[in-house]
Structure 1
Amino acid sequence: MIQTFFSGKQIRVENFQHGVKKLIFSRSEIRNAFNEEMIKEISTVLTKLSSLHNENEMRLLILEGEGKIFCAGADLAYMKDQSQKNEAENIEDARLIAKMFYKLASFPCPVISVVQGAAIGGGFGLVACSDYTLAEENAQFATSEVLLGIVPGVISPYIIRKIGVAHAAPLMLSGKRSTAQECLSSGFVNKVTKLDDLQSELKNIIHKYLMAGPLAARRTKELILNAYPLPNQQQIDFTVKQIAESRSSLEGKMGIQAFFEKNQPSWCEGVIPK
């Protein structure tokens, strides 16, 4: 019988043996896309899980999405609402998102993302903050923000930290989609398997991680964070400002409006043959 550690409106956390917990995004009807409530729930539960110091309570965190999609990033209805707000309101919202990603990236135990379908935008950011990523062979990955006239603001430091500028720049600047196999080549994904084999392969990976001493795993995570630090407050503030300005800009508003109207934004005119 699966025990529930946390049950919210947008997510839940299931409790398994040996200190393994699954954080499951449960907005499958809209591809597990973020809204403000979901962001707050994830931040709250990450704080709770981080405070569990008993080795039998918290050893390994798994991220999964219900349904066919891992996470499609920000809910576009939520993004449309944000685009109507002023820059100060957008900054406040972006700080909430930034805190969520920082809490995940600095999580004291190993974090594994299990990606089916797609990890787009903020979903891509979740993968970037993870220590290991298992993906099904048809999964797609992208930071598609620039296609909407906005930017992959708060997730950018984690993407670059994960795969370096050489791999990150082409993805972030073009918004193009990458296959699981392409992401395997860059190191963004660690293993690719068939969709039907996803859960059985996850069990094998969990078993391997649980072979490590619980305290040794935590200390090794600290070593990694010390050797390759997370963004400092100045960097976080910069990324927050960038996403806030882009969302409240004319270009950002035009891009999101074009998406809802199923049209190409104005900057694409003459670029794509009709």
Structure 2
Amino acid sequence: MSAFQTIIVKKQDNFAEIVLNRPEKRNALNKQMVDELSAAFKSLKTEDRIRVVVLKGEGKAFCSGADLAYLKELRNFDYQKNLEDSLNLGNLFLKIYAFPKPIIAIVQGPALAGGCGLASVCDLILATPNAIFGYPEVKIGFVAALVSAFLIRQIGERKARELLLTGKILNAQQAFNYGLINELVQEPELEIKLKETIKDLMANGPQAMATTKQLFLDFTYQEIFSEIKKLSKVNAKFRSSPEFLEGINSFLEKRTPNWRS
């Protein structure tokens, strides 16, 4: 696999690790990282010896959401550019969600906004007590549109409404209680738990697991695929609104937003 700049792909025996590698930016998402993640998953999908994929972040964060420089660029995007950008991230979420092999997300710090979405579309999430989760987009005039298609199915509409409307941040225990993560693991035990989980998955028939994942897709994929296209349009349209621009500007200028009805 060719070298990447924003991620690292490590292959060990029958599993691979994809490491978000922008620790100085808390592994924030930008277009390059989204493109490289998409390419990495595409390559690993057809590599028969790789049966499990682990997604993790370098440093103290899993992924803190959108990159600051990227947010500055968004202010100048037109509708078409915003639509392309939204579809790009939405298609990455779909690619991970539809991946035929089990994906384990390891979250040891912040997983926020798009970063929380990235973890949410994985099959399993192992988190340490230092992890935090949330979709705080509404606090700066964003709409967490893309992830809503997955979140409602995972934790139910009532909890999804609460998270997306309030923008509240959950600690690891709260995230576990919400059903957002699978297991809460103490930091010293994380590596052991990860190895155990990989071993358990490796003991299963690879085609049986792939078929099991396909069963979920048969029920949901076409519906979610259609929703992602619609939600990308919602995203693109809202990004042209005065409220969105005020939200970005207030965030970048470190001031309270001046919302107007």
TM bucket normalised to smaller: over 0.9
- The amino acid across from 1:119 in the alignment is A
* Preserved CA contact (<8 Å) 1:113 1:130: yes
Partner of 1:109: 101
Residue equivalent to 2:136: 144
Q: 2:25 aligns with which of 13, 25, 30?
A: 30
CA distance in structure 2 between the partners assigned to 1:197 and 1:265 by the alignment:
42
Q: Confirm or deny: 8 A CA contact 2:7 2:21 kept in the other structure.
A: yes
Q: State how far apart, in whole Å, the 2-side matches of 1:40 and 1:249 are.
A: 27
Query: Conserved in 2, the CA contact under 8 Å of 1:149 and 1:246?
Result: no
What is the aligned partner in structure 1 of residue 16 from structure 2? 21
Q: Name the structure 1 match of 2:125.
A: 133
1:230 Cα offset (Å):
5.7
Q: Does the alignment pair 1:11 with 2:11?
A: no
Instruction: Give CA deviations for 1:131-190 in whole Å, capped at 9, x if unaligned.
Output: 110000121101111111011122211111221112111001111101111111122101
SS at 1:7 equivalent: coil
What is aligned with 1:189?
181
Which residue of 37, 42, 47 maps to 1:47?
A: 42
The change in CA–CA distance for 1:129 and 1:37 in structure 2 (over 3 A counts) is same
2:94 pairs with 1:94: no
Rounded Cα–Cα distance in structure 1 between residues aligned with 2:71 and 2:232:
15
Q: How do 1:248-263 residues align onto structure 2 when only pairs under 5 Å count? A: 248-263=240-255
Aligned to 2:237: 245
Say whether the 8 Å CA contact 1:6–1:45 is kept in structure 2: no
User: Normalized against structure 2, the TM-score is what?
Assistant: 0.95
Could you give the per-residue CA deviations for residues 55-113 of structure 1, whole angstroms, max 9, x where no partner exists?
Answer: xx121111000000000111132022112211111111111111111100100011110
Q: Does 1:226 align with 2:218?
A: yes
Match of 1:271 in 2: none
* Mapped contact 1:246–1:252 kept (Cα < 8 A): yes
Return the letter of the residue paired with 1:16: Q
Equivalent position SS for 2:24: helix
| Fraction of identical pairs, as percent | 36
Question: In the alignment, is the contact (CA less than 8 A) between 2:138 and 2:166 conserved in 1?
Answer: yes
SS at match of 2:233: helix
Query: Which residue number corresponds to residue 272 of structure 1?
Result: none
- CA RMSD of superposed structures (Å): 1.5
Output the amino acid matched with 2:198.
I
Is 2:113 the partner of 1:121? yes
- Give the partner amino acid of 2:233: K
Task: Report if the CA contact (8 A) 2:243-2:259 is conserved.
Answer: no
Distance 1:47 1:206 in 2: 21
Paired positions, count: 260
- Contact (CA 8 Å) 1:82, 1:248: kept in 2 or not? no
Q: 2:54 aligns with which of 24, 47, 62?
A: 62
What does the per-residue CA deviation read over 1:190-244, in whole Å, with 9 as the maximum and x for residues that have no partner? 1111223222221121111111111111111112222343644431221101211
Structure 1: tracts of 5 or more residues without a match: 269-274
TM-score calculated relative to the size of structure 1:
0.90
Q: Distance in 2 between matches of 1:49 and 1:236?
A: 23
Show the counterpart of 1:164.
Answer: 156
Q: Tell me if structure 2 keeps the 8 A contact 1:21–1:58.
A: yes
Closer, same or farther: CA 229–92 of 1 in aligned 2, 3 Å? closer
After alignment, is 242-251 or 113-122 more displaced?
242-251
Question: AA paired with 2:135?
Answer: T
